[in-house]
Structure 1
Amino acid sequence: MSGPILSVGLLGLLFLLLGLGVWVAWSLITIGVVSLAAFTNVPTGKVMATALWSASSQWALVSLPLFIWMGEILSRTRVMELLFSALSPLLRNLPGGLIHTNIVGSGVFATVSGSSSATCVTVGKLTIPALRERGYADREIIGTLTSASALGLMIPPSIGLIVYGVVAEVSIARLFLAGFLPGFVLMLMLMVVAGFMDPGTKTTEEPRIGWAEILRRGAGLFPILSLIVIVLGSIYGGYATPTEAAAVGVAGALVIALMRRELTAASFKEGVLGAIRTTCMIGFITVSAAFLSTAMGYTGIPRMLAESIASFGLSQIGLIVVLTLFFVVLGCFLEGMSLIVLTGAILTPIVTEAGIDPVWFGIYLIAIIEISLITPPVGLNLFVMQSLTGHEISSIVRAVFPYFLTLLAFVTLLVMFPELALFLPSLSGH
């Protein structure tokens, strides 16, 4: 049986399992077992045991629960309240006014949380009532927050980049560097669109304050911003691995919460349990995808797919266009982390063979997943926003649509100018 036909059959089985409500991880394991049992002569049990152990014992994966825990700790502090207070006098005179606090606030908080849904919830709980009180339309509040919270997957320390680095065997430090500039450019693009969509003056004006008060408000963010600089700076400077830096981040977050008197026994327990739940979910999917990737290697499907793609004579741009359409469709059915682990290990060798840098492909993949987060019917951020605002999914989709187009334009920019992602890693020497 040819690679494409076999791939379509297995993909159809995967969608059937997902449609029946089977967990993503169990669906991946099932596909791996079927592939090995039906199309190879290797012992399925031994291959599964080896693949699961190998995937779960990787040192780089240890940084994942630590970064998640750091975000859980800081999300239970008053960081967003301080951030809104510091940003509002700086952004009030821009076209769009305080609506930009959704975008800039999401970008800054993303460096703390590394999670899109956590960014959306934490930023939204503060900015939605504050912006409504000041007369901003729900349409713009929903559009900017839903799209900007996807920055949590792009801006380091990104959980998505860590998982991609593990499954695709790419340097996490290089991926973190590569995510900075694209994340900043995407933030600016969203701000431009937000200013264009709603440039008018709101019903409630912010009182003018002096620079002394602005600096006083900003000083409250100094400990958290310093922690971010220390964590990321230690990685980029070569002083610590991502795992070691993540441990420093957790210790620093605990100290900050303790100094602010916001660390209680209850909040500590909630933070630990939240980190455990998220880590278990991502870890289960990651090791399941590792087994599926191993099974695919035994069946020869990746090699046959690569040969089939090569036979079409596609250029790099042509391959990226095909993959973009593939990911956007797949993103309508799978959430972002599942997409990373499902496709990262299988597609990375194919795109590398086509001459595409795997670091750039990781940033491209994250950008596509950001689009999937706001794509109906299962875009995760759409459901998070529905729970925060109580609006119907249809109205949320309409509000998000201009920013959906902005994300597509950003992916086009990333494809046309790959240096956007590769410039900083090329300077670092990592």
Structure 2
Amino acid sequence: MLALAIFALIGGALFLAGTSISVPAVGAVLFVIAFAFFFAAGVHIAAALGTLGVMFGLIYLDRPFWNFVGEIVWGPSTNFVLVAVPLFILMGEIMLRAGLSDKLYRCLALWTGRLPGGLLHTNIIASGVFSAISGSSVATAATMGSVALPYFARTGYSPRWVLGSVAAGGALGNLIPPGITFILYGLMTETSVGALYKAAIGPSVLVVVLFLLLIAMHGMKDRQRAEHAASWAEKFRSLLDLVPTIILIVLVLGSIYVGWATPTESAALGVVGAIAIAAISRRLDWKMLNESAVNTSHVTAMLGLILFGAYILNHVLTHLGVPRAASEMLKGLSMQPWIAMLLIMGFYIALGTFMEGLSMIIATTPVIFPIVLALGYDPVWFGVVVTMAVEIALISPPDGTVLYVLQGMRKDGGSLSDVFSGVMPFVFVYILAMVMLLAFPQIALYIPNLYK
């Protein structure tokens, strides 16, 4: 009822004002409406975006809005690149149920247990490896959490650092190719997804190294190590458990990097490979396939609704000239491009504290992207920056999705504040990585430039 009241109140005011409202004012009113929808009414992001787009389209566009709204939605829904999203999700779901994560975690635990920080390193490295076959931060965090939390329950590690490292590892899911965020960004900005995947390699390594250094510093202070020192024979035998994962990574990412397949085609190869590995592991049955397909359809439907709502709103915003007005306003401030980019980064980080990551990128990219181009920044580089901002949003209190996923998986009934406080050092390190990427853009652009 509150949502209907907000809709009627602001919609009536806009109708009475008519087209006399200026473009910047339209943008301001849009923000007010979005703010009211998200916080006061609790409306789902897809419904809020779609309702805003329809409302402003009916009021301000000079063409009959309903005559072409179907075309707006039909375009992205039939884009070949978008097919990769459900395929990558399905691949991750199958591998989760094939038991790949258990073998991966046990193997890496043997190799990292004696390092300063001990098994906490395993959370980061295992999440990074699993991210290369899942493409989803939430899926990575849930998978690694299901393995790591019971594993650490019988150790003396700090629960806060355990939860924080698992959450930080989960935040690698979208940054490490084949991240789903890159596909959505490439679709909305007409940027090569293959180039985005290549650009993500350097920043991915940077973030992982910074996370490991943070854990090592903590480990040297608290002297936390594994209880069992594995022999070299045990370590080398455990490497056999990594073979299925390596095969799948080479199949998916290798086919993209060498130019044998598009991201969509490699996603299909990944699904076939995941099914084959599940069959070899004797985990393949109709029940497992059905559960994987159902979960994939749920996530895909959610993303589809958000994307369609955003496309309707973005079409109206573009027609009204809001992105152009925002770009001209920013250029009129006469500030250095790097200062403007810092403000944009800060905007995304702040937005991520109360807005879900993928929704954030879909809703804001059409407005921010023209500004970034006007500032002279590379669209491939900015795609990596936006993806990192989305990852930070996923682990930022109070609305980080990954944090609530991990809290829901805890068996000890601990406080949510453990998750919040445990992840904050990793959030600050991730922000440091974004600043380093701004100062040294070649971290992202070096590898894509080699392929030009």
Contact kept in structure 2, 1:134 and 1:203, CA below 8 Å = no
Aligned counterpart, 2:250: 229
Structure 1 stretches of 5 or more lacking a match? none
Aligned counterpart, 1:404: 427
Are 2:386 and 1:373 equivalent residues in the alignment? no
Query: Which whole-Å CA distance do the structure 2 matches of 1:116 and 1:255 have between them?
Result: 24
Query: Which whole-Å CA distance do the structure 2 matches of 1:84 and 1:33 have between them?
Result: 48
Alignment of 1:331-350 (within 5 A): 331-350=352-371
How far residue 136 of structure 1 moved from its aligned partner, in angstroms, is 1.2
SS in 1 for 2:98: coil
Are 2:447 and 1:424 equivalent residues in the alignment? yes
Contact kept in structure 1, 2:113 and 2:225, CA below 8 Å = no
SS in 2 for 1:97: coil
Identify which of 214, 231, 235 aligns with 1:209: 231
Identify which of 131, 134, 156 aligns with 1:113: 134
Q: 1:50 to 1:221 in 2, by over 3 A?
A: same
Aligned counterpart, 1:18: 38
Contact kept in structure 2, 1:99 and 1:131, CA below 8 Å = no
Query: Which whole-Å CA distance do the structure 1 matches of 2:224 and 2:318 have between them?
Result: 58
Contact kept in structure 2, 1:236 and 1:428, CA below 8 Å = no
Write out per-residue CA displacement over residues 282-306 of structure 1, whole angstroms, 9 at most, x where no aligned residue. 1111122112111111111111111
Name the aligned partner's letter for residue 4 of structure 1.
P
Deviates more, 1:360-369 or 1:284-293: 284-293
How far residue 68 of structure 1 moved from its aligned partner, in angstroms, is 0.8
Write out per-residue CA displacement over residues 167-225 of structure 1, whole angstroms, 9 at most, x where no aligned residue. 11110101111111111110110111112123344486113312x33222111221221
Write out per-residue CA displacement over residues 9-62 of structure 1, whole angstroms, 9 at most, x where no aligned residue. 101101211221222111111111222223332221123211101111111111
Aligned counterpart, 2:15: none
Write out per-residue CA displacement over residues 347-368 of structure 1, whole angstroms, 9 at most, x where no aligned residue. 2122112111111111001111
SS in 2 for 1:198: helix
Aligned counterpart, 1:181: 202
Question: Aligned-residue CA RMSD in angstroms?
Answer: 1.5
Structure 2 stretches of 5 or more lacking a match? 1-20
Query: Which whole-Å CA distance do the structure 2 matches of 1:46 and 1:164 have between them?
Result: 27
Are 2:119 and 1:98 equivalent residues in the alignment? yes
Q: What is the number of equivalent residue pairs in this alignment?
A: 428
Name the aligned partner's letter for residue 229 of structure 1.
V
Aligned counterpart, 2:27: 7
Query: Which whole-Å CA distance do the structure 2 matches of 1:129 and 1:113 have between them?
Result: 22
Are 2:191 and 1:166 equivalent residues in the alignment? no
Identify which of 286, 290, 293 aligns with 1:269: 290
Write out per-residue CA displacement over residues 211-261 of structure 1, whole angstroms, 9 at most, x where no aligned residue. x33222111221221121121111111111111111111011000000100
Query: Which whole-Å CA distance do the structure 2 matches of 1:60 and 1:162 have between them?
Result: 7
Aligned counterpart, 2:320: 299
Query: Which whole-Å CA distance do the structure 2 matches of 1:392 and 1:162 have between them?
Result: 36
Q: 1:388 to 1:290 in 2, by over 3 A?
A: same
Task: Give the fraction of aligned pairs with identical amino acids, expressed as a percent.
Answer: 35
SS in 2 for 1:153: coil
Are 2:356 and 1:330 equivalent residues in the alignment? no
Identify which of 45, 48, 69 aligns with 2:90: 69
Query: Which whole-Å CA distance do the structure 2 matches of 1:208 and 1:337 have between them?
Result: 41
Query: Which whole-Å CA distance do the structure 2 matches of 1:2 and 1:188 have between them?
Result: 48
Query: Which whole-Å CA distance do the structure 2 matches of 1:292 and 1:124 have between them?
Result: 36
How far residue 3 of structure 1 moved from its aligned partner, in angstroms, is 3.6
Query: Which whole-Å CA distance do the structure 2 matches of 1:395 and 1:365 have between them?
Result: 28
Alignment of 1:152-163 (within 5 A): 152-163=173-184
Query: Which whole-Å CA distance do the structure 1 matches of 2:206 and 2:179 have between them?
Result: 16
Write out per-residue CA displacement over residues 347-399 of structure 1, whole angstroms, 9 at most, x where no aligned residue. 21221121111111110011111111122221111111211223322232111
Contact kept in structure 1, 2:113 and 2:226, CA below 8 Å = no
Could you tell me the TM-score, scaled by structure 2's length? 0.92
Query: Which whole-Å CA distance do the structure 2 matches of 1:287 and 1:428 have between them?
Result: 33
Could you tell me the TM-score, scaled by structure 1's length? 0.96
Name the aligned partner's letter for residue 355 of structure 1.
G
Identify which of 426, 433, 436 aligns with 1:413: 436
